[in-house]
Structure 1
């Protein structure tokens, strides 16, 4: 049973008892509010009275003045525009989605790899979107979001600095360096016109049974993850970019990927408080502005209901118990965990009723908007709840715009990315110092990783030879080359003189290679760090942030 703050719980219950509706359906008239407070006349069974939006508290970023401005701006919007304002949609193509934002009055958009064709194009598209919205009379920014976690979850890949997976930060164990790295990443994204990054990943991984998070997590220790999440949030925020911590209440301890089904979380509430919730509590206590709620069936809180659509999870666990007062985002509503059951309109209304503020990527954003409008008009969704969500969204965007921005050119963070990889690289077997390879090496693994290894080796002065060839019986054979095997997250146990885990380190446990190393990334900086260790020019200072069965040690 949850331990809610009584006043907040009563206010939430009272909110859900309120109903508001009008005479027209979502395709009918969309008038502006007539009251000075931006309120609408109540309909339903009584047909009388007016109301104002619920309070939006401070303590999560925006000042009282920014919240008042947001309240005034939202108060001037039509019902349909308010509904659009709480939606962040995906889009097609590489052109700025100006028409989509204008038609639905969207709160924002999120970009994926198919929308991005290089740093220059990204910056031009994002600038065009903001200019178009301003010309249309919008007095606050459009949210322009991206999933740029580092490692294998990086949507912008051309012309920008590549950062290793977040597990590198857990292995390095240096919050100051983490802050610096994520400030650099945020500054580059800000320079490209993004306002929000859906990172850092705040999940505590359970290990190999975790199919979705893996190296996106800083580790399996709640305290370790909490320290790195807090540092990453502070780094992003210092650049002027808004971080969104995810996936509340913790995706790292379930064994189903919510992209494909609804994971069941069997842990008790006490277990959740002791492990999964620890990083989120730390982020909330540090003043994070935004939290993404994942799609999980948390049996101890609200059985068989996706947590993103659960009032007990969002309003109860996140807001009442953890004290979060900022903007709550759903995870993508295109994911099978919710899309297969509820559709765009149904999931949108349920999420708002649960206490969410921003609906991320409904499969059909128009249907989601119209579903919200219809629900307000027929009394299934209190307008006060919609208004509160829209005010939080606009206040966040005003606050982000008004902060001191520290943009940096794309690609400028290479040094700190290299230093983070060098601090996190981990040796679990073999000598802890000295040269680990001979004068010639033969490398195998994924083609992209082999190419980056070759480039780093060339810069370091190490010769990489091709596949072994048979020689004649009496021919002089060259000295044997050291074999280096690179293994990504899809690979299994590997043989070689040196085996390198490029993502999750669990593959090292099944290998018998005399030298086994984890880099947690395939960035140029990660390969520079690897070559420095192989050539004995640097040690591997990192320690495994997760348990790996079958390795002699967790680091040097």
Structure 2
């Protein structure tokens, strides 16, 4: 039976991976003495450095996606499938309730690649249950039933979920609740962002993998333009393409370290269009040169490093293929392949308005596959899509070679994830980092870290056990650190206690107000109906910008035009986020900085 996951600790290998990535993804951690090589002859130093680089490359390759051996095995497995079974391998279905039995039957009957779990599929804990929120034991049982339907294949089905943190969280408490992805961007300027992004996504991956998930359609590689972006908002890391590139690659590596397939999304970039593809087809009017310098930077850098999967969005890019959604455009898929991506390209949900309203539910999957998609996510009717693709191959509307290519890529990725989660690669869950890398990135010499370093296995990241710097790293603590590292004072004084007379709360949702009141109580601050600082939460059904303190809960752009003397961006609605808010209002540090423009304020701005 699954219990609450928030207490799981970061493994030694994962901890050191975070430190390694923070050291610029392969650069040296310090001078030549950091790993004990300073006293070695020059030739031995060169050999030692080569060994370090080889170990780094092996770890990176393990997390980046399928190896040649996976591809060869996939080609053999796919060659033994019938046409109907091959078609199933390029489809991910959805279901409509917390009962997955129907989905399991479809996976078995149609040989589907797998299923996606949405919010309606997550069983709720009943009255009197020990934990509120989701019934994780029942969810694990339902996921297992889907996975059992694929057990004869020799490799797992894809059990996927959209789990970004913040607004897009399908499986909530008692899993760890995370601030928005934009919180990672807000923490980036104070050098917290990269390590926290790795650790946060690793913990997201670990918790989901424990439930039986194998894939999460995250992180977002979209570069938001700020207030004009109606879709991504706080789901994006930043408006700076280089920051987004760094954090999206860090995030997908963290998910892989936790055992999950991730997917950088939504190419060709959903952060700079002004319509929402859930409802209509957005148009991206930028030139190819502009896109390559802005929106495509995160995708290009992820592809160069290697990632298992990229999601194709539903966006009209006239510079590529005017009037055609990118998910149905061969020019868009060609662009990704020319960038060097040889892994899976998955479509965004094919039941979204941009596709469902303009193309038939059965024909759109055929068009996407023909154009270059490998995995078709959430067709409006998965059985109808399956039948349409079979007919298209039989009539030669769709080539057998294109279907085989797509199926082989998908199966190779499933085989890779199976080995990754089982600890059979050079990185991943439970895999110990080579000693030379541990010593190298911790800056320890010959007397340094050894395999029996119990304090690392216990989850420490700073200091010796029992010291003032001793920190146990688990999901709850990392979420707390992220909230504290990202909170941003956009306007007002820093380091002053504004809550000596208590506080009044307005705006936000009922849950927002309750969580802020609880955070105040934990800090010994009185919540009053009159008197004290008036704190206005921007969010919920009735946002307002007045009061003494205006607090943007998700995206910070709502602070533009506020007349509150103190304005704070929080980037989340978690209990830890409200604790961080109270701490700042009592005079604590606010280390975050704006990851997006807010009115005339540029990214990187902080009043502190």
Could you say which residue in structure 2 is the equivalent of 1:75?
79
Could you say which residue in structure 1 is the equivalent of 2:450?
none
Alignment of 1:486 with 2:486, yes or no, is no
Pairwise CA distance, 1:210: 0.7
Return the alpha-carbon distance in structure 2 between the equivalents of residues 492 and 219 of structure 1: 23
2:149 maps to which of 121, 132, 140: 132
Could you say which residue in structure 2 is the equivalent of 1:232?
251
Change (3 A) 1:442 1:550: farther
Does structure 1 retain, via aligned residues, the 8 Å contact 2:111–2:150?
no
Could you say which residue in structure 2 is the equivalent of 1:475?
none
Alignment of 1:463 with 2:481, yes or no, is no
Deviations 1:504-541 (A, max 9, x none): 101111111111100111011211211111122x3110
2:583 maps to which of 521, 528, 532: 532
Could you say which residue in structure 1 is the equivalent of 2:410?
393
Is 224-233 or 546-555 further displaced after alignment?
A: 546-555
Could you say which residue in structure 2 is the equivalent of 1:406?
429
Pairwise CA distance, 1:302: 0.5
Pairwise CA distance, 1:184: 1.0
Does structure 2 retain, via aligned residues, the 8 Å contact 1:172–1:541?
yes
Deviations 1:467-525 (A, max 9, x none): 34xxxxxxxxxxx2211111127655511111110011011111111111001110112
1:108 maps to which of 114, 118, 125: 114
Return the alpha-carbon distance in structure 2 between the equivalents of residues 250 and 381 of structure 1: 28
2:553 maps to which of 502, 515, 531: 502
What does 1:142-221 align with in structure 2 at a 5 Å threshold?
Answer: 142-173=157-188, 174-221=193-240
Return the alpha-carbon distance in structure 1 between the equivalents of residues 96 and 364 of structure 2: 22
Does structure 2 retain, via aligned residues, the 8 Å contact 1:188–1:412?
no
Does structure 1 retain, via aligned residues, the 8 Å contact 2:282–2:315?
yes
Return the alpha-carbon distance in structure 1 between the equivalents of residues 291 and 597 of structure 2: 20
SS in 2 for 1:265: coil
The TM-score normalised by the length of structure 2 is 0.77
1:318 maps to which of 336, 345, 353: 336
Q: How big is the alpha-carbon RMSD for the aligned residues of Structure 1 and Structure 2?
A: 2.0
Could you say which residue in structure 1 is the equivalent of 2:300?
281
Could you say which residue in structure 1 is the equivalent of 2:516?
453
Deviations 1:390-447 (A, max 9, x none): 111111111101112539xxx9611101111111110011112131222311112211
Is 520-529 or 292-301 further displaced after alignment?
A: 520-529
Alignment of 1:85 with 2:89, yes or no, is yes
Pairwise CA distance, 1:192: 1.2
Could you say which residue in structure 1 is the equivalent of 2:41?
none
Return the alpha-carbon distance in structure 1 between the equivalents of residues 194 and 70 of structure 2: 31
Is 59-68 or 491-500 further displaced after alignment?
A: 59-68
SS in 2 for 1:549: coil
Could you say which residue in structure 2 is the equivalent of 1:11?
none
Could you say which residue in structure 2 is the equivalent of 1:546?
596
Return the alpha-carbon distance in structure 1 between the equivalents of residues 323 and 195 of structure 2: 41
Could you say which residue in structure 2 is the equivalent of 1:303?
322
How many residue pairs are counted as aligned between the two chains?
Answer: 481
Deviations 1:324-379 (A, max 9, x none): 00000000000111111222221111111111100000000011111111111111
